[in-house]
Chain A
């Protein structure tokens, strides 16, 4: 007779979604998907330095990826659905895990002291800021709803219009600094969750996370800085 183990009766989805380690794996994988997207997004944004024609042509090309196998704009919609799933999975898992974490320490210490790094302590609220930023960012530069220019097909002009307003610059730069901090801890943490870290690799992994965070933030922030300084207009 087989010995009955507690885990013996649980299915793989239950072992993933109902355990803290499994749910963190969902966060790690969805986070890495979003990070890969952000790297290509940042590199694509740098097209703004080559003028409106090249930038707008690039924005149009994104809609033609996969043709003729895929129909026009199919690729971009598949990517959007995938990214939305990643954002929702990441957010729901983070919310549920945070609820558990807060419930596990019901009485706080009277003697408080500064714990962990700034990047680590700001993961939760930084994540909320990023979620709100994504909503504004889509309304601004995807749908054009809140964009001062807001013309479809004129990506370059829309970007310049946003970063010609003080609030556009403030929202964007604050969110991108939050993104850098989030990735600084999140990338290293995701690697640990997936069990890929080790003592010999740790320094390299921390350095990689810091580098990716800095390069990504600098690449994104270079666009509003270029508009503010008149390099891009």
Chain B
């Protein structure tokens, strides 16, 4: 099996306030079947053996469902394929390639170390309205609340968001509109979300703005980068919800 030799230019930053810079590394013997993170694991093994600091990056499930991993690869969030970084395979690269690897860049996502950023701003957006205020307990009877099929489909489509932050990383304005709209639409379209329909969108947008994310200029970069295919019209739907909530006050 042919293997690849690659040149990596990786953003190294020792801590939140440290100066960072792109550092060049060579890796060899990379299998096309490796995931992008396994390729970085290979590099880190070599760095550890050489008594150097390994490259810090976030990862957890490595199945494309948790949203922990994420890095900007050659200027594209999660790299050239529409998937998460863990599900990106090295077969999409060629022997001799130079690959630039940078962290998500946004004022609201400060770098913690190397490729790890602090995405807790997302948690605060969710905390300000991305839920329904109802006793949960055991699972309710499935037929207790009727949900029209198209609404259920819309809710599921938007519930797919894994909060990886690729939308913010891809947006030229570092905007979190697609992330926020995914949750607003997911809950606002359902009868369970109806009692807090107005306060949810007003509060979540208020938090989103306060966290220092930029505004939407409808470039569509977010939806192109989203590994879960949250559609750009999700933002349009949130705009509609926001203006509706303002009118209802």
Binding site for B on A (CB under 8 A): 3, 5-8, 10, 12, 15-16, 18-25, 97, 100-113, 115-116, 120, 123, 185, 188-189, 192-199, 202
Our pick among B22, B106, B202 for the contact of A6 (Cβ within 8 Å) is: B202
Q: Which B residue sits closest to A197, measured CB to CB?
A: B236
Residues of B within 8 A of A105 (CB): 105-107, 172-174, 214
Q: How far is the CB of B129 from chain A (nearest CB, A)?
A: 8
Residues of A within 8 A of B216 (CB): 20-21, 24, 193
The verdict on A202 contacting B233 (CB below 8 Å), with A103-B107, A111-B100, A112-B75 known, is yes
The verdict on A6 contacting B172 (CB below 8 Å), with A101-B215, A197-B236 known, is no
Select the residue from B199, B231, B237, B243 with max chain A CB neighbours within 10 A. B243
Q: Tell me whether B220 and A116 are in contact (CB under 8 A).
A: yes
Q: For the complex, what is the distance from the CA of A102 to the CA of B174, rounded to whole Å?
A: 8
Q: How far is the CB of A116 from chain B (nearest CB, A)?
A: 4
Interface residues on B, range: 35 or more
15 contacts between A and B (CB under 8 A): A12-B249, A20-B205, A20-B209, A21-B205, A23-B215, A100-B215, A101-B172, A101-B173, A104-B174, A105-B105, A109-B75, A111-B100, A192-B218, A195-B239, A195-B242
Residues of B within 8 A of A20 (CB): 175, 205, 208-209, 214-216
Residues of A within 8 A of B74 (CB): 111, 113
Q: Tell me whether A189 and B217 are in contact (CB under 8 A).
A: yes
The verdict on A101 contacting B203 (CB below 8 Å), with A195-B237, A195-B243 known, is no
Q: Tell me whether A110 and B102 are in contact (CB under 8 A).
A: yes
Residues of A within 8 A of B237 (CB): 195
Q: Tell me whether B199 and A5 are in contact (CB under 8 A).
A: yes
Q: How far is the CB of A204 from chain B (nearest CB, A)?
A: 13
Residues of A within 8 A of B208 (CB): 20
Q: Tell me whether B236 and A120 are in contact (CB under 8 A).
A: no
Select the residue from A22, A104, A105, A107 with max chain B CB neighbours within 10 A. A104
Residues of A within 8 A of B240 (CB): 194-196
The verdict on A109 contacting B241 (CB below 8 Å), with A7-B199, A20-B209 known, is no
Interface residues of B in 65-120 (CB under 8 A from A): 72, 74-76, 100, 102, 105-108
Q: Tell me whether A8 and B199 are in contact (CB under 8 A).
A: yes
B188 within 8 Å of A by Cβ? no
Q: Tell me whether B218 and A185 are in contact (CB under 8 A).
A: yes
Binding site for A on B (CB under 8 A): 9, 11, 22, 72, 74-76, 100, 102, 105-108, 128, 133, 172-175, 198-199, 202-203, 205-209, 212-221, 231, 233, 235-246, 249
The verdict on A7 contacting B235 (CB below 8 Å), with A24-B216, A101-B175, A109-B75 known, is no
Q: How far is the CB of B127 from chain A (nearest CB, A)?
A: 11
The 9 closest A-B pairs by CB, nearest first: A195-B240, A104-B214, A7-B202, A104-B174, A20-B215, A101-B173, A111-B100, A101-B214, A111-B75
Our pick among B9, B11, B76, B207 for the contact of A113 (Cβ within 8 Å) is: B76
Q: For the complex, what is the distance from the CA of A113 to the CA of B219, rounded to whole Å?
A: 14
Q: Which B residue sits closest to A20, measured CB to CB?
A: B215
Q: Tell me whether B105 and A100 are in contact (CB under 8 A).
A: no
Q: Which B residue sits closest to A199, measured CB to CB?
A: B233
Residues of A within 8 A of B100 (CB): 110-111
Q: Tell me whether B202 and A101 are in contact (CB under 8 A).
A: no
Residues of B within 8 A of A101 (CB): 172-175, 214-215, 217
Residues of B within 8 A of A106 (CB): 105, 107
